[in-house]
Amino acid sequence: MSMEGQTTISPSICSSGNGAASVDDTVIVAASRTPICKAKRGGFKDTLPDELLAPVLKALIEKTELNPAEVGDIVVGTVLSPGSQRAIECRMAALCAGFPDVVPIRTVNRQCSSGLQAVADVAASIKAGFYEIGIGAGLESMTVDQIERIQKVRPRVESFAQAQDCLLPMGITSENVAERYGVTRQEQDQAAVTSHKRAAAATASGKFKDEIIPVSTKILNPESGEEKLVTISVDDGIRPNTNMTDLAKLKPAFKNNGTTTAGNASQVSDGAAAVLLMKRSLAMQKGLPILGIFRSFAAIGVDPAVMGIGPAVAIPAAVKSAGLELSDIDLFEINEAFASQFVYCSKHLDLDPEKVNVNGGAMALGHPLGATGARCVATLLHEMKRRGKDCRFGVISMCIGSGMGAAAVFERGD
């Protein structure tokens, strides 16, 4: 299917204005995340999912001094764990974080966009008048839960090529994007180098300190069983010395003669993030600083065989829904699921590289599936705040397994 054909698909859109300030705006007053750590061998390898979520939920209340009983709902994006099990773990996390039992919680799963979907769901509920304050969050422990293939498929699926393509390993869809749209191995490796360099620079300059909540946890020695208490405060997947020479030595991970490697794909990670939203009028009444304004959201389907192109379709839809042009956007956070799709989407939309993932992305930081969307909100809004009046609008976007893209537009709050 051509890109032109895909853009005609009707998006699922939630719009919250066209840039004009209103007391009815849905605003973000706080956004926090844990460090992102390498699954199975990083700082959170012995930390349970509820232990990841509780600190970021608690941090929102501590930062704002909000009465937690005022929160109308908590929505948590999460992908890999069985739904009922993760929903209970999230409820446990909220109670451990100090939320009273009257505050409800639920999970949402739209694959890699789940954290952003959670934020969008809360924004839509506030706009609809269901409640005035809500939390959109994201959580994934890829140490605890792994990506598994669907084991049983009805025979009739073989008659539907696109339905079959939903079963393709994500790495193969990355190879499909590279082949179909001519993304070279060199372009992919260069994107990875840039991601690591920018993430390392952001860490060294202390940029992430505004968004990261240090997490006190434990690490077990696998040989002795000895338990060591630690505080995790930095992302542990960043490799500052990443370079083209070393990346060129890596073999293709998914296909002989392919171009996707362990070095130019997102890392398998553990982490959580949370975003506190409310009506502008209420934030003003409470004297809370406004970090950002939720302007629009769009989710659109694409060909499952090249699921990585999702942002190339979703971003224009979300920007249009916000009443803006692509040229109005000052910063982009595009999830680097694979370098192939990240490079393609950036080139297709003709984005200025100096505006995209300025503090690195998932190839360096990692991609805890359900948490990434909410993590990006924290990263984007804090960067927009640092840049001030020269940075008014920002976009977050990602591709979605089985063939979709999601995007949201935010405005700087001050």
From residue 26, give the alpha-carbon distance in Å to each of 94, 131, 183, 398.
23, 11, 39, 22
* Residue 172 near residue 255 (C-beta atoms within 8 A): yes
Q: Please report how the helices 310-321 and 339-348 are oriented relative to each other, as an axis angle in degrees rounded to 10.
A: 40
Buried b vs exposed e over 322-341: b needs ≥16 C-beta within 10 Å?
Answer: bebeeeebbbbbbbbbbbbb
* Residue 330 near residue 392 (C-beta atoms within 8 A): yes
Among the listed residues 14, 90, 391, 399, the single catalytic one is 399
Neighbouring CB atoms inside 10 A of 362's CB total 30
166 belongs to the catalytic site: no
As beta bridge partners, residue 37 has 270
Query: Which of 39, 38, 74, 30 is CA-nearest to residue 54?
Result: 74
Among the listed residues 367, 376, 382, 391, the single catalytic one is 367
From residue 377, give the alpha-carbon distance in Å to each of 90, 115, 159, 262, 331.
20, 9, 40, 26, 12
399 belongs to the catalytic site: yes
Distance CA 13, CA 21 (A): 20
* Residue 276 near residue 60 (C-beta atoms within 8 A): yes
Side-chain half-sphere exposure of 7, counting CA atoms within 13 A? 12
Cα dihedral angle (32, 322, 326, 381), rounded to 10 degrees?
-10
367 belongs to the catalytic site: yes
* Residue 271 near residue 370 (C-beta atoms within 8 A): no
From residue 217, give the alpha-carbon distance in Å to each of 27, 173, 323, 366.
32, 36, 45, 20
Distance CA 99, CA 85 (A): 20
From residue 115, give the alpha-carbon distance in Å to each of 78, 118, 204.
7, 5, 26
Among the listed residues 112, 345, 376, 391, the single catalytic one is 112
Two tokens, residue 138: 């994201």
Helix (H) or strand (E) segment spanning residue 83: helix 83-96
* Residue 365 near residue 212 (C-beta atoms within 8 A): no
Residue with token string 């608690």: 58
The residues carrying an active-site annotation are 112, 367, 399
